[in-house]
A = this chain, B = another copy of it.
């Protein structure tokens, strides 16, 4: 059950309204990474959650995001006020000016209606926590960019508050994920195929127009990594030569790990 308090979570003051910035702010009101997306993602995850401890966490933060939605909507509306009287501003934002009478709606900065397609809800707690960590990182960087596009101190203060809270949430979700105590890269119950899971497929090769080339790093060398030179590559060479590779060389070719040999049966 929800209750609303008329006071905003963060009191908003602005100087001269800037309708272009107000429109930009809508990214965090009805946009893909905005506050409604956050509020709904966490609250619906919480509704589905069978883990009582992390369910509480999801409801706490989901509810806070509703309060953020109200703050950012109030801020956007203040900046969009001139749309009611200023023709140039209205022509730049015709949907808000004509259909919305100058008020905000759950659209992003390009007038796209908010959609639940933005949400990432899987019903698998550790996966959902990862979705949330990523969501908070996105929200943080969007607030930071918004701060860079305004000079209004009152606006910056409010955005700084909201931005900070995203890091708070990111910390909380990370702690909640770690406290589950799952082994690294363990998702669900079915283990990946040994061998195959350590093969790195080099599927993009050659030299780019700007000198791009194959790169190595901890994501494809060292540890258990087994580099597989482009799977499609040897086929092409063989095809060019008018021959087919022997079956034993298919797929991952000569690297032949157990996972690879197991996975192709002609």
Count copies of this chain in the complex.
6
Contact of A188 among B74, B106, B144, B266 (CB under 8 A): B144
With A7-B207, A57-B219 known to touch, is A98 a contact of B137 (CB < 8 Å)?
no
Q: Which residue of B48, B66, B168 is within 8 Å of A200 (Cβ)? A: B168
Q: Let me know if B114 and A56 touch, CB within 8 A.
A: no
Compute how far the CA of A162 lies from the CA of B163 in the bound complex, rounded to whole angstroms. 37
Is B106 a contact of A119 with CB atoms below 8 Å? yes
Partner of A110, one of B94, B104, B176: B94
Is B190's CB under 8 angstroms from A236's CB? no
Q: Does the CB pair B10–A203 fall under 8 Å?
A: no
Give the residues in chain B near A259, CB-CB below 8 Å.
164
CA of A265 to CA of B11 in the docked complex: distance in angstroms?
7
**Alpha-carbon distance A110/B108, docked complex (angstroms):** 11
A190-220 interface (Cβ within 8 A of B): 190, 192-193, 196-209, 212-215, 217-220
Q: Within the complex, what minimum Cβ distance (angstroms) separates A243 from chain B?
A: 10
Q: Out of B168, B176, B206, which one reaches A197, CB within 8 Å?
A: B168
In the assembled complex, A146 has its CB within 8 A of some CB on chain B: yes
Query: Across the interface, do B21 and A91 meet the contact criterion of CB distance under 8 Å?
Result: yes
Question: Are the CB atoms of B141 and A187 closer together than 8 Å?
Answer: yes
13 contacts between A and B (CB under 8 A): A5-B232, A7-B206, A21-B91, A24-B94, A33-B120, A47-B77, A56-B215, A97-B149, A100-B121, A100-B122, A111-B112, A112-B113, A175-B219
